[in-house]
Amino acid sequence: MHDGQLRHSGEPYFTHPVAVACILAEMRLDDSTIITALLHDTIEDTKSTYSEIARLFGAEIAELVDGVTKLTNLQLSSSEAKQAENMRKLLFAMSRDLRVILVKLADRLHNMRTIRSMRSDKQAQKARETMDIFAPLAGRMGMQWMREELEDLAFRVLNPDARSSIIRRFITLQREAGDVVERITSDIRTELDGAGIEAEVHGRAKKPYSIWRKMQEKQLSFSRLSDIYGFRVICTKETDCYRILGVIHRRWRAVPGRFKDYISQPKTNGYRSIHTTVSGRDGKRVEVQIRTHEMHEVAEAGVAAHWAYRDGLRVSNPFAVDPAKWITTLTERFDSGDDHDEFLEHVKLEMYSDQVFCFSPKGDVVQLPRGATPLDFAYAIHTRIGDSCVSAKVDGIRVPLWTRLKNGQSVEIITAEGQRPQSTWIDIVTTGRAKSAIRRSLREEDRERFVRLGRELARVAFEHMGRRVSDKALGAAASKLGVKTANELLARLGSAEITAQQILRALYPDLSVQQGEEIDAHRPVVGLSPEQTFQRAACCQPVPGERIVGITYRGRGVVAHAIDCAVLAEYEEQPERWIDLRWHEGRHPAAHTVSLDLTISNDAGVLGRICTMIGEQGANISDLRFVDRKPDYYRLVMEVDLRDVEHLHTVMTALEAESDVAELGRFRDPHRKP
């Protein structure tokens, strides 16, 4: 089917599926996965069809090939919203049969190995996609060797200068210090022989990207980076792992805080090993991983070890994780993500997580990503525990909620009735589950606040029209405006999605909200030609009665700025763009929005009184946002719809007379565009 097709390099196309099949064969995967690798591009790139593959090779392989084809068609590096949806599809494909992802990862690995024949822009796109999605996915599945190679191949494309610099420094280091890997490997073998333990010892320098990432995270120069060498000791029995650990710690000094026992507490992808870092020759830090041969097979193959064959027979590895259970643990918490950003955040947190294991007071083990806090621990137990958390004890000592947890610590969560999540908690927690629960609670709290604010705004608007607001009237308005309930209508009014004027017009369409002839809000100025459009500048928000000048903008018509607007200085050298404007004389509608910057007391009822006061002056609040919240005061920016400068002065005078208003001014942002 691929006859006559060529790759970008000019080679026959079939060399690619053969190379992908070889990668999977080296991983000793089952026949179906390897056949799928050979056929993985046939449905997409040739005349072959699903039914033809099913007839020739069976339904299982046809399903796998079709799954790989659908994954290939996902544009994973597109916009955030699209990327989130495609990630959902990726995880769904994984949940149906994980081997689809194994073929896709091998496909991406070979494409990255041969990426030089692609256009430079395509190289950058594929490398970024690999770094963001495929490399962390390989790591999450336990295939660390593939993750490291994918990252390094992408690093070569995205930052070739940094990679070359690290390689040059490595060469210099080897020239100065000799073959450190060989010397330390020999030292470890000598110690093990002396203890009568049979084991293989392998050493290597870490990959350039791994070193680069560590330099960036720890903000260290290459010369100050210590553990750039890694060693593996592979033995026969689990008991030997702990004997080897004792031998190494007796010979070299262990680095505090760098010991992890993934044998007693395995990772969710089946990974088991002991990690320790010691000070080796010349004080150089080296990381040592200790594991059995069976553990090593899972460490190399990860979740793929479930399908491993040797000499034509299925290998039964007691440490291989059940793929169905693994995919469930990965995806079970993603369904609660209400928006695209949140979902992608969940995925990336899960992809990159490395675990710590902590204990509840009852001795239950709670598994969390590295960097997790007591708040993450609380939400991992139950959302209700997290929401009502007030403090925590770690190993019996009370600690701040932002404390980073370490392996083996015992955590006790202290709760209190009436406690609600704080907005600052979002920055404290690291798990997707905790972030999602906190955001959900904050949204509910905001909704309650918006309902209260909406009720106050509705009351003022109705009284201004000589009417009384009632639940019946609000229910009727909600029905006419297509909103489910009266409370939902009030929440939208409070959050400025709906205006009080819209509610009044829905109930009283024949009632004029303003009396008398009004000037058209769309053309309230004199000095425009018939074809010119008009906008008020968002930076200075001029209102009728203030001196203004017009500036022409291509595609935006004429924008009116206040004569004292700081932005006008940018156009001093372009006099041809200036237009003399003035406001029409007469009654303007209350449609000119002005931003007020208020600092008010944080006391019950203060915000309601201020909203009432503004309504009593015949002005409408169209938006409100909190800039700063402190225990004793709030700072907020309030958008108020006004008629003219006289109306503005009336509102500001009324607010300044209020004792709970500490500061008041117009909020002007020179960077805000109309």
CB 225 within 8 A of CB 281: no
Instruction: Say if CB 548 and CB 572 are below 8 A apart.
Output: no
**Rounded Cα distance, 190 and 347, in Å:** 45
| Dist. CA 600–CA 610, nearest whole Å | 9
Q: Identify the three-state secondary structure at position 201.
A: strand
Q: Contact at 8 Å (CB) between 350 and 87?
A: no
C-beta separation of 447 from 492 below 8 A: no
Residues 6+ apart with CB under 8 A from 209: 148, 151, 152, 154, 155, 163
Q: What's phi and psi for 364, nearest 5 deg?
A: -70, 140
Strand partners, 356: 368
Look up residue 194 and give its DSSP letter: H
User: What residues contact residue 275 under an 8 Å CB cut-off, 6+ apart?
Assistant: 258, 259, 260, 262, 287, 288, 289
**H/E stretch holding 214:** helix 208-218
- 30, 45, 60, 639: which is the annotated catalytic residue? 45
d(Cα 206, Cα 198) in Å, to the nearest integer?
25
Q: How far from the centroid of its chain's Cα atoms is residue 431's Cα?
A: 11
Residue with tokens 């210590």: 226
Beta bridge partners of 506: none
Q: How far apart are CA 163 and CA 33, in angstroms?
A: 34
> If you count them, how many residues does the chain have?
674
- E-assigned strands of 360-453? 365-369, 389-394, 397-399, 411-415
Q: Amino acid identity of 523?
A: R
Distances (CA, A) of 595 to 323, 540, 543, 606, 674: 56, 9, 11, 19, 14
Q: 351: buried, middle or exposed (CB in 10 Å: 19+, 13-18, 0-12)?
A: buried
| Bridge partners of residue 535, in order along the sequence | 559
Tokens 């470890």 belong to which residue?
188
Task: Judge whether 44 counts as a catalytic residue.
Answer: yes
| Tokens linked to 205 | 């320098």
Is 623 among the catalytic positions?
no
Residue 474 tokens, joined: 């609000």
Q: Taking Cα atoms as reference points, which of 85, 102, 87 lies closest to residue 23?
A: 102
Residues 11, 26, 44, 60: which is the catalytic one? 44
Residue type, 509: P
Residues recognised as catalytic: 44-45
